[in-house]
Structure 1
Amino acid sequence: MKKSLIALGFLMFSCSTNFEDPSLVQDLRILAIRTEPCEFIVGKDLDDYYFVNMSLLLGAPSYLVLDEPFTCVVRHCDITRESPTCEGKTSLELRRFKCRVGNNTISVYIPKEVVQEVQLQDPTYGTPVHSGVAVWLEVVVLDKNLFGLKSVLFSPENPKGRKANQNPVIERIQIDGVPITLPLKLPRNRPFLFEVVPSSDSKETKVFPALNPPGEPVSVTEFLTVSFYSDAGAFSDWQVSDKPQNIFEQPTSGVKFQSTWQIQDTDTKSVRFWFVLDDGSGGVAFSSFEADID
């Protein structure tokens, strides 16, 4: 299926890192891609261009010396579940820029011709149940065998008054129940309970067109997923989610986005941490910091 009715954003990674522990960042990695906005509400007549601010989070361990910038490319092509890269395909390059470890923010313009092309490929486009299509952007770190995918949604105002999805917000990060303050020093050889606390409005309820018009519109509440990363030590769970078994069910209530981290080696002097919050609908937030190990 080329384009889903309710299109969800996701990330993909490719590099030489050992992924036996997905939370352990041992090499250069794409950890998150965020766009602002993450969804456009569009009418019958499209604008000439759609402007997004893109944030690319590149993670790498502190022991890697990566002073020189890399070349990153943002491009669009026909992304499918069976062929989720632009390699070997005709693609449209939208932006080329220098990127470094950390958060890289750049602007990207998506021309209306790209949106039109994707719309026309979707079998639900123009029908009463059409709720939006995903324009897929691929981000490539050249010469590093790294790529990531990010969807930007383009949706009609159906039903009337429907609002565009907003990116979630990380309100705070706690360690053992206490909000972190920087600079941070952590002793080795003991566990720490990390918790990512989203803002109260990060989980939105979406209203989609009736699946069988003229029936009632369908309401779906977002689920949240938090990914935990570090370049040393280990997290007990690298990903925690309140995702329900069925997309039309309510997210699991009372879930705390927590994971226990501990380091035991005697050589590490500092650790980098990264936290990624995903709302399952294309919205992303992330946070990172470094801590000294005592």
Structure 2
Amino acid sequence: MRPAARPATWAAPPRAVRRVVAAVAIAVAAAACGADFEDPAIVLDLRMLGARAEPPEVLLPPDAEPEDVDVPDIDICALVADPGASRRLAWEMVACAPTSSGRCDRAGAPFVPVGSGVVDDPDEAEVPVPPCGTLRPSPALADILRQSIDEDPLQGFSSVAVQVEIFVKPEGAADADGIYGVKRALFAPQLPPDRAANRNPSVDGVRIARAGDAEPAEDVALARCTAADAAPIALVPGEEIALFPVEPDGVRERYVLPTLDGGSRSFTENLTYSWFATAGSFSAATTGGPTDAFGNAPRLDTRFTAPDVDAPADVALWLVVRDERGGAAWYEMCARVEP
């Protein structure tokens, strides 16, 4: 049986005792942004930075009923950071038809557990172990798909979603100390017949340009600060670098969608990049996205400014890449700031 419903509002995590690096981050954020608000790109305590479904989209026979189709297992994983405390995290995932709140809390609506468990501190492990559950085929999932189709204005003509509510809290803490996130796995009819399912995006790496560089000249190790193969970006306080994602060939997939007149239309994916760090600042927290009204391609790079520190400090950085069809992936990096 599903646990009793949690509070209807999205709960903010408590402000825990900081580590040394996190304390530096708070001071820098306060100095740069004022004490009344925090930079959303700077991660100080328990945060969910992204979520991924694998596969992100499942294509089904156009005329099949939800209970008659073979649906693969779908793995749902969350990118969670908690730099403000050293603690294990408990998590739970539940699937349902989409809601405006992102919560699976409609009375009488079908739902299915996706997974639950406890993970070690997400920032301290050498190899990250994110909260991951599996959405498996079941009669309850068929009921959810049926509800999603029935509630869709086009009756699933293009696609429908199964919503996965993700809840994370410190182990042993009250539910009010937790945070919520949501991920939607897409299901679509294979129309037109040559339609291909979406795949999660990726990057080949990240390159940096320092002051005076005509173009990005250094490759960044995609490894967290605690990894055995970590190779931090060497910075001095206040130094500014440009970060450029390196896109592999073909990562911006071309895809086709059905049109209401019985035809189809072809599109090319846009990719959006979200940048996070435990300290410092970004010139833009989000880059990429669609072209502007004049057809100009957006910038993919951002500029990162190292925090002002009195002693050597490691800064964790994250890059989350998303396409416009529910695909996502993420990468971790490390910078070492030394006066």
Give the TM-score normalised by structure 2: 0.72
**Aligned with residue 269 of structure 2, among 218, 222, 233:** 222
Post-superposition Cα deviations, 1:161-199, rounded to whole Å, max 9, x if no partner, equal 100001001210112121114421322221111122222
Aligned-partner SS, 1:50: coil
Partner Cα separation in structure 2 for residue 266 and residue 167 of structure 1:
41
Larger strand proportion of the pair? 1
Partner Cα separation in structure 2 for residue 268 and residue 19 of structure 1:
26
Partner Cα separation in structure 1 for residue 163 and residue 247 of structure 2:
26
The answer as to whether partners of 1:77 and 1:136 remain within 8 angstroms in 2 is yes
Partner Cα separation in structure 2 for residue 86 and residue 76 of structure 1:
7
Q: Which residue of 2 aligns with 1:98?
A: 118
Q: Which residue of 1 aligns with 2:285?
A: 238
Q: Which residue of 2 aligns with 1:7?
A: none
Partner Cα separation in structure 2 for residue 89 and residue 268 of structure 1:
53
Partner Cα separation in structure 2 for residue 155 and residue 47 of structure 1:
12
Q: Is 1:291 aligned with 2:335?
A: yes
The answer as to whether partners of 1:228 and 1:274 remain within 8 angstroms in 2 is yes
Partner Cα separation in structure 1 for residue 99 and residue 56 of structure 2:
19
Q: Which residue of 1 aligns with 2:12?
A: 15
Query: How do residues 19-58 of structure 1 correspond to structure 2 at under 5 angstroms?
Result: 20-43=38-61, 44-45=64-65, 46-47=68-69, 49-58=71-80
* Paired letter, 2:219: P
Partner Cα separation in structure 2 for residue 41 and residue 14 of structure 1:
35
Q: 1:237 to 1:268 in 2, by over 3 A?
A: farther
Post-superposition Cα deviations, 1:206-249, rounded to whole Å, max 9, x if no partner, equal 211123x14x4122222111011000111111111232458xx9
Q: Where does structure 1 differ by over 6 angstroms across 4 or more consecutive aligned residues?
A: none
Q: Which residue of 2 aligns with 1:190?
A: 239
Q: Which residue of 1 aligns with 2:99?
A: 80
The answer as to whether partners of 1:55 and 1:103 remain within 8 angstroms in 2 is no
Q: CA RMSD in A?
A: 2.5
Count of residues paired in the alignment: 270
The answer as to whether partners of 1:168 and 1:198 remain within 8 angstroms in 2 is no
The answer as to whether partners of 1:196 and 1:258 remain within 8 angstroms in 2 is no
Q: Is 1:262 aligned with 2:306?
A: yes
Q: 1:19 to 1:239 in 2, by over 3 A?
A: farther
Q: Is 1:153 aligned with 2:162?
A: no
Q: Is 1:113 aligned with 2:143?
A: yes
Partner Cα separation in structure 2 for residue 254 and residue 25 of structure 1:
25
Deviates more, 1:156-165 or 1:235-244: 235-244
Partner Cα separation in structure 2 for residue 73 and residue 174 of structure 1:
36
Q: 1:260 to 1:32 in 2, by over 3 A?
A: same
RCO comparison, higher one (Cα < 8 Å, 6+): 1
Larger Rg: 2
Give the TM-score normalised by structure 1: 0.82
Post-superposition Cα deviations, 1:16-62, rounded to whole Å, max 9, x if no partner, equal 4786311100111111111110000112154365311222111122x
* Paired letter, 1:85: R
Aligned-partner SS, 1:71: strand
The structural deviation recorded for 1:116 is 2.3
Aligned-partner SS, 2:143: helix
Q: Structure 1: 5+ residue runs without aligned partners?
A: 1-12
Partner Cα separation in structure 2 for residue 97 and residue 164 of structure 1:
30
Partner Cα separation in structure 2 for residue 270 and residue 19 of structure 1:
24
**Aligned with residue 273 of structure 1, among 299, 312, 317:** 317
Partner Cα separation in structure 2 for residue 86 and residue 292 of structure 1:
41
Q: 1:71 to 1:52 in 2, by over 3 A?
A: same
Larger helix proportion of the pair? 2
Partner Cα separation in structure 1 for residue 330 and residue 314 of structure 2:
20
Partner Cα separation in structure 2 for residue 19 and residue 169 of structure 1:
32
Percentage of matched positions with identical amino acids? 24
The answer as to whether partners of 2:91 and 2:166 remain within 8 angstroms in 1 is yes
